[in-house]
Amino acid sequence: LISGAIVYAIQMLVHSTQVAGVLIYVFGYLAILNVLLFGFNLLPAFPMDGGRVLRAYLATKMPLYRATAIASSIGKGFAIIFGLVGLLLFSPILILIAFFIYIGAGQESTVSRYNFLLKDVTIGQIMSGPVVEVSPRMPLTEILSLMYQTKHLGFPVTDHNILIGIITLTDLAKTPVIDRDAMQVRDVMTRDVIVLSPHAPVMDALQIMTRHDIGRIPVVEDGKILGIVTKSDIFTVIELREV
């Protein structure tokens, strides 16, 4: 409709027939392209708009996570069809669209399932504690021994009962073996520590871990370390709740 109005305005305002013809052709082509894109976007290929409309309809008949799972499966089906058509037509753009639809549908379904399984679980319910705290002056060789003894791959670093960092196996792995004898925890620890309250939803912890690519978060309340929650703790709960 808007493109049609633009074409009409061009006819009224542009006196040169040749120029008007070129502009009308360009805007007409864009109008047709927009209509095609609009129709394509309304296909029930979740997570495209049409797929989201389908999920909204299904959600009136069943729980949201099930509606998302069904819409996601349909979206993946469309993605496979788009991919095959793209291969037949030698269309890299269609193949790329198929790839993003397939990945997006899978991710949306996974997030929805996790939200459902973890919706009433707080960090305080699954955290591990009491926590082994280490000094910033502890030699790195002792940290490695402590990891072997406790089977934990990360420890909060405290100084006079104040959390100042966290050291993990990843921090140790970045340090050359030849240098570890002369180094202390404070030399390699992560200083920007993300902490969470025991009352925070577990889904918050999982989202933060995924966003920042970390495996554990200290649980703190009133400045005191109560425990630590790891990705392993969260996925254990997910597995148990799926049974």
Q: Contacts for 81-84 with beta carbons within 8 Å, 24 or more apart? A: 82/45
The pLDDT of residue 143 is: 92
The tokens describing 167, both together, are: 């050291």
The pLDDT of residue 179 is: 83
- Candidates 178, 134, 192; CA nearest to 158 is 134
The pLDDT of residue 129 is: 83
CATH superfamily of 123-242: CBS-domain (3.10.580.10)
Distance CA 71, CA 227 (A): 39
Distance CA 182, CA 156 (A): 21
The pLDDT of residue 109 is: 92
The pLDDT of residue 23 is: 63
Distance CA 243, CA 229 (A): 22
CA distance readout (Å), 56 to 19, 51, 104: 47, 9, 17
How many Å separate Cα 169 from the centre of its chain?
23
The pLDDT of residue 223 is: 85
Determine if the peptide bond prior to 201 is cis (ω within 30°).
no
The pLDDT of residue 87 is: 94
Residues of the chain with CATH 3.10.580.10: 123-242
User: pTM score, two decimals?
Assistant: 0.74
The pLDDT of residue 38 is: 76
Do 189 and 171 contact (CB within 8 A), yes or no? yes
Per residue of the chain (243 residues), give pLDDT as tens.
565 566 556 555 655 566 656 666 666 666 666 777 777 888 888 888 898 999 999 999 998 889 999 999 999 999 999 999 999 998 898 999 999 999 999 999 999 999 999 988 999 999 988 889 999 999 998 998 999 999 889 999 999 889 999 999 999 988 888 888 889 999 999 999 999 999 999 999 999 999 999 999 999 998 899 999 999 999 999 999 887
The pLDDT of residue 37 is: 76
